Structures are given as structure tokens and as C-alpha cells.
Structure 1
Amino acid sequence: MKFAGATQTDDAVTITLESGDTLEADLLLVAVGRGPVTDGIGLEEIGVTVDRGFVPTDERCRTNVEGVRAVGDIVPGLQLAHRGFAQGILVAEDIAGLDPQPLEESGIPRVTYSDPEIASVGLTEAKAKELHGEDAVECVEFNLGGNGKSQMLATAGFVKLVRVTDGPVVGVHMIGARMGEQVGEAQLIVGWEALPEEVASFIHAHPTQNEALGEAHLALAGKPLHAHS
């Protein structure tokens, strides 16, 4: 549904959709996003290609001009600080002749620091099906209603796993309190192409939010422990 407009009173906001339907809320958050700030720093003068303020690069952060690299938010892609750090390390090691592996964009953890938090790494279900085929992907969702720590924190959400059928987990997507703290293990699972059965054999501490990640893999491996719907 597309947004058509909004009107505001002293204590409410009414949002109108293109369908004609309306929604009423106390507050309306408008997220306009961010853009690169590269005007006036001399890129065009030395021949560096600039596209709407962004600086296109190859997988080793090389621009179209020999000897000029670009890292961080001015490079098209995820605008995340940890991506910029990793690109900087990649460039330094590449210049030093260490031949580092290029970054896999889908393997970079993404976290939205909202309440509840949203954390994700790897492929979405749609992207996995696009790459591997509609019938070659399996998914499972573990509802945080079955997680003891989530009940203590009074949070709701889920852990969704995406795997290639009879193959590794290729995506982990989580919503709930503190899920940004769980994405580290999720990155290892996706990065090392772990099978659900392998992760299911790990013992996750109880009661923790991290336990939800373990239980999601138990469910995907065909041996769920707790369930809530």
C-alpha cells in the first residue's frame, strides 16, 4: 500500500493511502534516508566517476582512477559503520599485498536499533529462491513466545531461518529485544555454511535470547523443543 498524504491535529495524525483507506496514529515517523556528501572534494577534477554523489567501485574498492580507492557510505550498498571498517581493512591489506578476500555484501550483519530490534544476515527467502529455485529453499520461524528470556523481557518477535534444501543455512532474520546481540553467531552460521543439524547440536544457555537462535535450528532440523503460535 502506497502512502498518499497525511493530516495532523493537536493529538493525532491521519494517514491516507492511495487505496483511499486511512490510518490514525499518535505519531508519524518519516524516515527519509541518508545520502552521500561528496560535492566539492575534488573527485570530478581528478576523473573519479560519481553517480548521484556515490562513488562506484569494484570488489576491492578501486575506483575508475588508478590508485584511488573509496570506502564507507559513499560506496553504493549498505550504509553501515562496520561495513566501512571492513572495507578500510580490505584496502590496507590489499595495498600491502596480502591478497584479502573481497567482502560478501550479503554476509554483512544488518541491525536496526529499534524496539524491538531487527537483525539480519545472509539471504532473504525471496533472494534465496531467486538464486537456488522456488523448490530448493526451506524456511522456519521460531516464535519468541516459546523463549523464556523473551517472556521476562516482555518482548515479542521471531527468528526466521532460510536454508537450501538438504544444504546449509543461507539466511538468518530476527526480530525481538537484544536480537542485535545474536547476529554475531548468525553470521558465523551463514558464513561457514553450517547445516541446521550442526547448529542444533550446540547447547545454548537457558534462559537467554540466544537460546531462540538455537531452538530455531532445532525446529529446522526436525526436532523442535518449544513451540508457540
Structure 2
Amino acid sequence: MNYDIIVIGSGPGGYVAAIRAAQLGFKTAVVERENLGGICLNWGCIPTKALIKSAHVYEEIKHAEEFGLNKTEASFDFSHIVKRSRGVADKMNKGVGFLLKKNKIDVINGNAQVKPGKKIEVTDKDGKKTEYSASHIIIATGARSRVLPNLPQDGKKIIGYREALTLPTMPKSMIVVGSGAIGIEFAYIYATMGTKVTVVEFLPNIVPVEDEEVSKHVEKSIKKHGIDVMVNSSVERVETKGDGVKAFVKTANGEVTLEADIILSAVGITANIENLGLEEVGISTDKGRIIVDSFYKTNIPGYYAIGDVIPGPALAHVASAEGILCVEKIKGMNVEPIDYGNIPGCTYCSPEIASVGMTEKKAKESGYEIKVGKFPFIASGKATANGDTDGFIKVIYDAKYGELLGCHMVGNGVTDMIAEAVAVRRLEATSHEILTTIHPHPTLSESFKGATEAAYGEAIDL
């Protein structure tokens, strides 16, 4: 019952940390109360992308004649779409189980509580309690859908992302509250398959963390998909009497009443830190998150935390990076803290959104003299051949040194391209090096160079 490292939670932070620990020679165990892979693999990143793929294929079939292809009337089986999504999640879940077994990591099923003295107590499904000890305990328990007092989720008429993945039937109408990645992705999925969707956003722009130019473009694009958008608006209260649901929305012009079959609450997440025993051990928290240092140590020696339970971006790839760094530091390796200013973000609606670094507004507020370049996909040969020219790539450079301060992409396929900008920033490459790097043609990726050319007045294809 004694280990070198015990990881509580098997999401993209936890299972990755455990595997890296095993690779480094630590005797390792993972505690999981539900499904291996956590929310990301089972109820988040992966199954939503499966639904998005179905929506995208359906959308392409409807436009097949534009490519010279004959088609019959496009239709779909919603239950089969959901079944495929769950099958994809199940396959990934089994894959994590295989990897843990391959790396000789013990999997302990149950709810864990941390105890003083570098111990944990695990309660299994039958209520049996077992104590384990470890030299190092890593908390990676993730997060869940945030519930607002004025939007109490009942799992039927007012739902979170989990219920949105497994609705038994297609709703005819849906109100999506919140326009971050979760809200916009589900809005796209359901609107594409025929649901009348209205997005309600409290802030002035949808996808508010993005560059303002990107936000405006996405708003225009999703409206073409038939999605209604209400910004500077907030749902004050709801009524669930009768067949559907009513939302009373406060706007700049007064209160508006919206009616729909269902409301999806996508207003953020809440860290899973309750009932973990943090208070008993004395682990410090602030605003619902565990406080850690640059290498994920809590204030109590031997206890660590990574992923959505600590301050910072709640992203799967961030949690994985934190888990690896945490165990490498425990091993005594010469490692550097993560640069949280160089974290890519992706939203998988249509058009897709991908970004890294500063927005144009942030760069100006930070006092930089900047050069901004933009390459629209309508000027791209590959995008034109694909029949999808919606979107652009925008780059922001420091005028003095040529440092890439930020890159913002909108368009289908951009989530697979943003890594180039992340690597450029990581390696501190300059605009000159981008301009002299030969990109393959015809590709969407050459538009990154095209945007850089535009920033320096050297555009060839504009």
C-alpha cells in the first residue's frame, strides 16, 4: 500500500503525470472514482469532437453539389450520432487503461481523501475504506460544469455539457448561455443539425478571450449558420413550467423573454476540490483553486496539484504539461517553469478558432509598437480548392525586434496549424526567419507566412 507517487484523478493531467512518473522509475498508482481519462476523454474534448465531425460531414453533404457531386436529400440519425460519439470516448477510455497497465501503474477505484502524513484514504463503491501512503501525492481531480443560482441545472430542461452530449432526441430549439469554447461548439453542433439556437453572452463579444477582430468574424459567421447572438446580455431567471423553458434576459434595451425546449448552461467550470480533505491536511486554497508554486507544490510538503484545480487556463494540454513538469521536478531534473504566456487555445466550431499570445489590444496596452499582418483565406489557393474560404490568419509582431507577440487564426483547419506559431514564440524566432522559411504550396499553413509578409509590406498574394 506504499508508493512513491499517488495521483488522484486520471484525466489528461493525472494519467499523463502517472505515466511520466512510471517512466522515471517511480512506483506509481492512480485513483479514479469514475472513468479513466477523466472529463476530457469521456465527457469533454474527445466526444464533442466526434459530434462536431458528424455535424461537419452533414454540412458538407448538404453542399455536395457545389463540388460537382450528385446527392439525395441529406438526413441523419441523431441517436446514432450520439452512439458514435460515446463509442469514440469508450475507445479512448480503454486506451488509457492499456497505457496505465503497460507502464505497470496500479489503478485504484474509488473516492480519495488526502490525509496528513502523506497518506490518502480511498472509499470504494461498497463503502470500504483503504489507506495508502506515498512520498508524493498529486491532486488532479479536474473540474465540472459551473452552476449559477439563477440557472439551476436539473439535467433535463437546464443542462450542462455532460447532458448535451447524450440528449435522447434533437431539441427543436436551444438557448446557450455563455459563448466560450463549450458554448460555441455545442451551438454549432446543434444548429448545424437543425436546432434553432440562441447564444446569450454577458460580455460585449462572443468567444471573449479571443482577439476582437476574430470575435467579430466568428459572430458574423455563426449568424450565417442561423444562430442568433445576444451580447451584453444576461439570463436573470428561468421558468421550467410546461413543455419547454423560458429565459428572462436582461439586455441594454430592457428585458427580453426567450422560449426554447432546453437551456445549455456553458458559463464556465468549478474545480473539484470539495471533500478532498484539504482542510484537514492544511492545504491552502483561494477562490476555489489550490495554491501552488511554479512546480506545483502546495504549501504542505509532499502534496502537489495540477490541472483545473489550480489557477490558470483550464485546458487539457496545459494539465498534461503540468503533470509532466511536476514529476520531472520531483525526480530532480533540471526543468523550467511553464510559460503561461505561450499556451495555445482552440475552439472547434465552424469556422474553427486558434490563438496564442497577445491580442492586438493587449499588445498596445502593454506598450509595444507593433506591426500587424492579416491574410484572408479567400486569397489562399488551397482554401479556394477546398471550397471554404471563411476566415483569416492575423499576426502581431513587435516592430523593434520582430518578435511574434501573438497569432490569431479563424477558419476550418486552423486548430491543426497554431502549433507553428507556438513553436516560433518558444524558439524566439523573428519575423525575418518566418519570411525566409519556405512553406509548402498549396497549403493553408502558408497563410501564416502570407500574414507575416502583409505585416511588413511584402505581401505577394494580396
Give the TM interval when normalised to the shorter protein: 0.7 to 0.9
Q: Which residue of 2 aligns with 1:179?
A: 414
Letter in 2 for 1:158: F
Whether the 8 Å CA contact 2:290–2:298 is kept in 1: the answer is yes
TM-score (norm 2): 0.44
TM-score (norm 1): 0.86
- Correspondent of 2:436 among 194, 201, 205: 201
Whether the 8 Å CA contact 2:373–2:395 is kept in 1: the answer is yes
Q: Which residue of 1 aligns with 2:233?
A: 3
Q: Which residue of 2 aligns with 1:150?
A: 383
Query: What's the RMSD between the two structures over aligned residues?
Result: 2.9
- Correspondent of 1:41 among 255, 276, 291: 276
Q: Report the Cα offset of residue 155 of structure 1.
A: 3.8
- Correspondent of 2:396 among 146, 162, 175: 162
Letter in 1 for 2:393: V
Whether the 8 Å CA contact 2:306–2:319 is kept in 1: the answer is yes
Q: Report the Cα offset of residue 103 of structure 1.
A: 0.3
Q: Report the Cα offset of residue 15 of structure 1.
A: 6.6
Q: Which residue of 2 aligns with 1:32?
A: 267
Give the 3-state SS of the residue equivalent to 1:85 in structure 2. Answer: helix
Q: Which residue of 1 aligns with 2:374?
A: 141
1:92 and 1:198, CA in 2 relative to 1: closer, same or farther beyond 3 A? same
Q: Which structure 2 residue ranges, 5 or more long, are not aligned?
A: 1-203, 205-231, 239-243
Q: Taking CA–CA contacts closer than 8 Å with sequence separation of 6 or more, which of the two structures ends up with the larger relative contact order?
A: 2
Whether the 8 Å CA contact 2:381–2:442 is kept in 1: the answer is yes
Whether the 8 Å CA contact 1:197–1:221 is kept in 2: the answer is no
Question: Residues 7-22 of structure 1: matches in 2 within 5 Å?
Answer: 17-20=251-254
Q: How far apart are the structure 1 equivalents of 2:426 and 2:255? A: 43
Q: Which residue of 2 aligns with 1:88?
A: 323
1:65 and 1:14, CA in 2 relative to 1: closer, same or farther beyond 3 A? closer
Q: Report the Cα offset of residue 111 of structure 1.
A: 0.8
Letter in 2 for 1:144: F
Whether the 8 Å CA contact 2:374–2:452 is kept in 1: the answer is no
1:5 and 1:53, CA in 2 relative to 1: closer, same or farther beyond 3 A? closer
Q: Which residue of 2 aligns with 1:122?
A: 357
Q: Report the Cα offset of residue 100 of structure 1.
A: 0.6
Q: How far apart are the structure 2 equivalents of 1:36 and 1:126? A: 30
Q: Report the Cα offset of residue 161 of structure 1.
A: 0.8
The percent identity for this pair of structures is 34
Tell me how many residue pairs correspond in the alignment.
223
Whether the 8 Å CA contact 1:44–1:50 is kept in 2: the answer is no
- Correspondent of 1:62 among 297, 300, 303: 297
Q: Report the Cα offset of residue 154 of structure 1.
A: 1.5
Q: How far apart are the structure 2 equivalents of 1:51 and 1:16? A: 31
Q: Report the Cα offset of residue 53 of structure 1.
A: 2.7
Q: Report the Cα offset of residue 30 of structure 1.
A: 4.7
Q: How far apart are the structure 2 equivalents of 1:115 and 1:29? A: 19
Q: How far apart are the structure 2 equivalents of 1:5 and 1:55? A: 30
Letter in 1 for 2:396: V
Q: How far apart are the structure 1 equivalents of 2:269 and 2:359? A: 23
Q: How far apart are the structure 2 equivalents of 1:221 and 1:169? A: 13
Q: Which residue of 1 aligns with 2:424?
A: 189
1:29 and 1:178, CA in 2 relative to 1: closer, same or farther beyond 3 A? farther
Letter in 2 for 1:124: T
Whether the 8 Å CA contact 1:138–1:165 is kept in 2: the answer is yes
Larger Rg: 2
Q: Which structure 1 residue ranges, 5 or more long, are not aligned?
A: none
